[in-house]
Structure 1
Amino acid sequence: MSEPDPVRSPAATIEGQCDPRFAAVRDAFEANFRDRDELGAAVTVQVHGETVVDLWGGWADAARTRRWERDTVVNVWSTTKGATALCAHLLADRGLLDLDAPVATYWPEFGAAGKETLPVRFLLSHRAGLSGLREPLSLAEFYDWETTTARLAAMEPWWEPGTRSGYHALTYGFLVGEVIRRVTGQLPGAFLHEEVTGPLDLDFTIGLPEKEAPRAAELVHPRVASSSEQAALFAQLDPAAQAALANPPVGATEANSAPWRAAEVPAANGHGTARAVAGLYGVFARRGRSGERVVLSERAAERAREGQGSCRDLVLGAGFAHDTECALGLWLSGPNASYGPNPRAFGHDGFGGSCGLADPEAGLSLGYVMNRMGPRIADDPRKMALVEAAYAAL
C-alpha cells in the first residue's frame, strides 16, 4: 500500500489509500463525483486479502455540512443480502442446516398453503414464489418480526416454487432470517455479529444501534421520472413484482428514520463501511478465509455460487438486457458482467448503487457504498465504473 495521499478534484476531497497499480480505480472514483453526481461514497478493493484501495470522500448529508469520514456508515439496502446468505452458509457448513431440506423442517408453520416440501435453497435463490405479501403491509407491521414472518408462513406462493426466480426484495431477509432464528435461537443480526463481524472486526450491522447514528450518512432520494410516469410503469408490472417492490413502499426517507434503523430487516437495512462490505464478500472471494481465519470450508464457499437456473427474473427482468441467474443468496455476474468479466464472479447490489463483489478466480473482493441513490436496483453506472477499473488493474 502507498501512504495516504489525499486527492482533490473539483467535486470533492478524496481521502484514503490507493496502491499505484490501482490508480484507475481512484480515477473512476473521482469521476463519479465529477461526472456522475456522487454526493458521498467509499470504495474498498482487496486482492488475495490485501487491501489495495481504500478511498472515501464527499458529503455525508444532503446539506453538505458533514464530510464523509473514514468510519462513516450508510444503509446499503440489498447488499445486506450477502451477509445474511453468509450466515445461512455457515450453518449449512456446520451441518446444522440442510439446504435441500424442506423449510418446514425448521419452521413448521411454513408448511401451510402448499409449501410443505419447499426447500431452503428456494429461499436463498429467490425461487420460492414469495416475492412480496399479497395483503397490504403497514410499515409498523413490516418492522414487527413476528407479524411479517407469520404472514409469510401462511402465504400461498405467487408462482410454482422452483420454476423461476422473482426477486424477493424485502421478504428474502425474513424468510432466510427466520430459518436462521429457528436453527440458532438468534435473529440474523445477532448471529452475524457473534460469528462473523465481531471476530473479523468488520464495521457492519443489520440495523443500526442508536449510539452509532451520529456517524451514519443520510440517504438521498434518486432523481427519477415524474410520479405519473412512475405510476404508469408500475401498473405494467406483474402483481408479484408490485408486491416485491412496494409492499410496503420504502425509500430514503424511511431508511433515514429511527424505526428503520431499530428494526431487523436482513434483506435491506445493513449498515456499514465499504471496508466492511469488501471484508464480508472477501470471505467468498478467498474461498472461505479471512486473514488466517477459516470462516467457511472451501466446499461451502464454492456452493454459495452454485447457479440455480438462468431466466428472465419476474421482478428484475425488465432492467437487464440478458437473463440473470441467482446462486444461493448472491447473483452470478453472467452475460451482464454485473460483477466483472468472469461470469462466475458473484455478488449483490443494493437499491440505489451500493455493491459487494467476490471473484475467487481473481482473489478479488470489492465494496462500494454511497448516499445519493440512483434510480436503478442494480448495475448503477458508478458501481460499474469502479468494477471495470478494478479488473483493468489486475
Structure 2
Amino acid sequence: MKAQGMCTEKFEAVKQAFEDMFDDPQERGAGLCVQVDGEMVVDLWAGVADQEGKKPWTRDTLANTFCAVKPYVAVAILMLVEAGKLELDAPVARYWPEFAQNGKAKVTLRQVMSHTAGLPALRTPDHNPMMYDWEHMVQVLAAEPLWWEPGTDLGYGTSTFGWILGELIRRVDGRDPCVFIHEEILTPHDLDVHLGVDEQHFHRIARFDSATGRVGDPYSQALRTVLKNEPAHIATYAFTNPGMVPRRTSDPRWWAYRQPAVCAHGTAHGLAGFYSALMAGHFIGRELLSEFTREHSHGMDRIWMRPMRYGLGCMLEQQRDPTASHAMGPSTFGHIGLGGPISFADPERRVSFGFVTTTSGGHMMIDPRPSRLSSLVYAAL
C-alpha cells in the first residue's frame, strides 16, 4: 500500500518498511513520525480509520494510545517539582492526607513514579462500573492496602499511576490533571494529543481492532495465560480491575475519559513532537530531565511478569531483551501502549519516534512493527 505524507531520501527504507506492513490484509491503519533535532524527517500514514474500510486514514486521524501517555503526567509532576510545589522524596500523604490509610503513610512520590510504591493494582470488588468517576476512584485508592513494603519490589501501576499522580496535581495546582497537561504541555507546542477528546473531535478517532495469529513473545504469552486463568493474580487485578482493554475503545465515554496514565488519543506527529520538545529543553530543566530518564528501578516486574527498567514514569531501553528494545541507542526512553502504539526518544541521536495503529498485535511490550521501523531509522542515522 502506498503511504501518504513525507519522507526524506535518507529514510526511504523506513518508508518502504512502513508500506510493507500493509501487505498483511489485517493491517488497517497506522501513522509514523520521526523527528531529528526537532525537524520532521518522516511523517507517514496509510490505511483506513474505520472497521468497514471506507474511511481513509489521514494525518489528523486520532489513534488510541493507551499507556503511551504515562510520561506526560510524569513530566507534569516534574514541572510542579521544579516549581517547588512537590518534592520527589516527600510522602504522597503530605499533599493528600487521606492516602496515608492502611500503611501508605511513608509511600513517596519517587516510589510511585518508579513503580516501586507497592500499589500497582486494586483488589476486589469490581471497580469497572465506577472507573469513570474520579472522586470515587481516588477514594478507593486512598483506602487500598499495600501489596508490599514500598521500595522492596517492582510492579507497574497500570491505572493506579494516573490516579495517584493526577490527584497530586489536583491537590497542589487546583486544575484537573488533564487540563494541566493540555494547558502547560500540549497546547503551547501544538501537540495533537488529547487526554480526553472533545466531542467536536470524535469524528477523527480511528476504530481499534485486533489481529489474529499474532501471539507475541514468550513473556507476553505467559502474561495472557495468567490474565485468562488466574483471576486473583496481582497482574490480573492490575489489567482488569478496572480493565483498560480494546473493547472500551468504541465507547464515547472512553474517548472523553480523563485518566492521565491509561487513556489518550493522538497522532504520530503529536507523540514524536512531545519528545522533541522535551529534549529541546521545554517543560523541565536539564537536571530534572536527567532525573526523569535515569534508571530508578529494575528487575522482574510483578505486573508485566518480565524484566523491566524504569525512570520516573518512563520505560528505559532493554538491549538484552530484543522484544522490549527500542532498537536504538542505550539511553533511549519512552513508553508503549497496549496493542502497538509507542513513542520514545534517543537523546544521543536527538531522535523522537511516534507510531500509532488501530490493529492490535499480541505483544505486551514493544510490537515488532515499530521495532522494525525504529531499527531502520537507527541504521539510516
TM-score (norm 2): 0.92
**Helix, strand or coil for the counterpart of 2:359?**
coil
Quickly say closer, same or farther: Cα 1:23–1:232, change in 2 above 3 A. Answer: same
Give the whole-Å Cα distance in 1 for the aligned partners of 2:298 and 2:59.
39
1:324 matched to 2:308: yes
Give the whole-Å Cα distance in 2 for the aligned partners of 1:47 and 1:260.
33
1:254 matched to 2:239: no
Q: CA RMSD in A?
A: 1.9
Give the whole-Å Cα distance in 2 for the aligned partners of 1:36 and 1:313.
35
**Helix, strand or coil for the counterpart of 2:5?**
strand
The residue number in structure 2 matching 1:209 is 198
The residue number in structure 2 matching 1:4 is none
**Helix, strand or coil for the counterpart of 1:356?**
strand
Per the TM alignment, residue 164 of structure 1 is displaced from its structure 2 partner at its CA by 2.2
The residue number in structure 1 matching 2:102 is 113
Give the whole-Å Cα distance in 2 for the aligned partners of 1:42 and 1:315.
29
In structure 1, which of residues 315, 329, 340 is the aligned counterpart of residue 303 of structure 2?
315
- Deviation larger for 335-344 or 197-206: 335-344
Quickly say closer, same or farther: Cα 1:163–1:222, change in 2 above 3 A. Answer: farther
Give the whole-Å Cα distance in 2 for the aligned partners of 1:36 and 1:20.
27
Give the whole-Å Cα distance in 2 for the aligned partners of 1:363 and 1:130.
34
The residue number in structure 2 matching 1:334 is 318
**Helix, strand or coil for the counterpart of 1:78?**
helix
Preserved contact between residue 170 and residue 244 of structure 1 (Cα < 8 Å): yes
Per the TM alignment, residue 316 of structure 1 is displaced from its structure 2 partner at its CA by 1.0
Give the whole-Å Cα distance in 2 for the aligned partners of 1:366 and 1:82.
14
Per the TM alignment, residue 279 of structure 1 is displaced from its structure 2 partner at its CA by 0.9
Preserved contact between residue 222 and residue 352 of structure 1 (Cα < 8 Å): no
Mapping of residues 1-394 of structure 1, within 5 Å: 9=1, 13-35=2-24, 37-223=26-212, 234-235=228-229, 239-284=233-278, 286=279, 288-289=280-281, 294-318=282-306, 323-335=307-319, 336=321, 338-394=325-381
Give the whole-Å Cα distance in 2 for the aligned partners of 1:352 and 1:36.
17
The residue number in structure 1 matching 2:220 is none
Preserved contact between residue 124 and residue 329 of structure 1 (Cα < 8 Å): yes
Per the TM alignment, residue 165 of structure 1 is displaced from its structure 2 partner at its CA by 1.7
Preserved contact between residue 325 and residue 331 of structure 1 (Cα < 8 Å): yes
Quickly say closer, same or farther: Cα 1:275–1:230, change in 2 above 3 A. Answer: closer
Per the TM alignment, residue 238 of structure 1 is displaced from its structure 2 partner at its CA by 7.1
TM-score (norm 1): 0.89
The residue number in structure 1 matching 2:219 is none
Give the whole-Å Cα distance in 2 for the aligned partners of 1:324 and 1:177.
24
Per the TM alignment, residue 378 of structure 1 is displaced from its structure 2 partner at its CA by 1.4
Give the whole-Å Cα distance in 2 for the aligned partners of 1:17 and 1:363.
20
Gaps of 5+ in 1: 1-8
Per the TM alignment, residue 33 of structure 1 is displaced from its structure 2 partner at its CA by 1.5
Per the TM alignment, residue 303 of structure 1 is displaced from its structure 2 partner at its CA by 1.2
Preserved contact between residue 17 and residue 55 of structure 1 (Cα < 8 Å): yes
Give aligned-pair identity as a percent.
38
Give the whole-Å Cα distance in 2 for the aligned partners of 1:132 and 1:383.
29
Map Cα deviations across residues 82-128 of structure 1 (whole Å, 9 max, x no partner).
21112112112222221111101111111111111111011111111
Preserved contact between residue 353 and residue 379 of structure 1 (Cα < 8 Å): yes
Preserved contact between residue 166 and residue 177 of structure 2 (Cα < 8 Å): yes
Map Cα deviations across residues 207-232 of structure 1 (whole Å, 9 max, x no partner).
2111100111011134377xxx9666
Give the whole-Å Cα distance in 1 for the aligned partners of 2:289 and 2:179.
21
Preserved contact between residue 354 and residue 368 of structure 1 (Cα < 8 Å): yes
Q: Which residue identity is paired with 1:340?
A: A
Preserved contact between residue 230 and residue 236 of structure 2 (Cα < 8 Å): no
- Deviation larger for 147-156 or 332-341: 332-341
Preserved contact between residue 324 and residue 334 of structure 1 (Cα < 8 Å): yes
Map Cα deviations across residues 313-338 of structure 1 (whole Å, 9 max, x no partner).
111124xxxx2211100011132362
- Deviation larger for 88-97 or 69-78: 88-97
